[in-house]
Structure 1
Amino acid sequence: MRLNQITIGTTDLRRSERFYELLGLQLIVKENHYLRFQCPEGDSTFSVELVDSVPGGAQVSIYFESDDLDDQCARLRAAGVDFDSLPADMSWLWREAWLRDPDGHRLCLFHAGANRLNPPWRIPDPASRSWPSPGAAE
């Protein structure tokens, strides 16, 4: 199974189109009520659909990984994008920065390298784990 796309709501498609293209995503579908972008690396997509309102209390965080995080953040800041927090090294071995899109959706731009999928505390591969048989004595 692979994650294909994430769709979020916006109250202004044109504003979202400009923002996500500035972020570096490539617009591949544009309809009256819907935009779909392709991420510049890999085959993941991200879409935005027109809605009447965006719930203010929703806490979904969307993560975009960048190998040149600091340069990307500097470019976005120079273009007028405000950040909630600038790139910083975190205890979970990622470097990340936080911002919000024009509709208030929380975005994390980060770089994790090998630690994204293989942090030192990763649980063993399920195929290599041995589990007690049901009903086995402990």
Structure 2
Amino acid sequence: MPKGEGIYVYFECENLDYQVEKLKQNGIEFDQEPTDQRWLWREARLKDVDGNQLILFYGGENRLNPPWRI
């Protein structure tokens, strides 16, 4: 495997907190609980067996039309 942080794979989940809780109940461990980010998305992070970053997020309206869009 190459060195570094690996690949980042994003999965958008409309009901992020619920999905994270459901995965945790099935034994999945997260590196970061659902957190509001400064770019106005809510994200939770974990790693796969190869160390790649898996990011579950909800961007909602801010994903397509952020307030800073011109």
Range of TM-score over shorter length: 0.7 to 0.9
Count matched residues.
Answer: 70
Letter in 1 for 2:38: S
- What is the RMSD computed on CA atoms of the aligned residues? 1.3
1:79 aligns with 2:55: no
- Counterparts of 1:90 and 1:57, CA distance in 2: 23
- Counterparts of 1:72 and 1:99, CA distance in 2: 13
Indicate the SS of the match to 2:21.
helix
Structure possessing the higher radius of gyration over alpha carbons: 1
Residue equivalent to 1:94: 41
Residue 55 of structure 1, CA deviation: 2.3
- Mark the runs of 5 or more structure 2 residues left unpaired by the alignment: none
TM-score (norm 2): 0.88
- Mark the runs of 5 or more structure 1 residues left unpaired by the alignment: 1-53, 125-138
Residue equivalent to 1:64: 11
Give CA deviations for 1:1-46 in whole Å, capped at 9, x if unaligned: xxxxxxxxxxxxxxxxxxxxxxxxxxxxxxxxxxxxxxxxxxxxxx
**Larger RCO (alpha carbons 8 Å, 6+ apart):** 2
Give CA deviations for 1:33-84 in whole Å, capped at 9, x if unaligned: xxxxxxxxxxxxxxxxxxxxx3242443111000010011001111111111
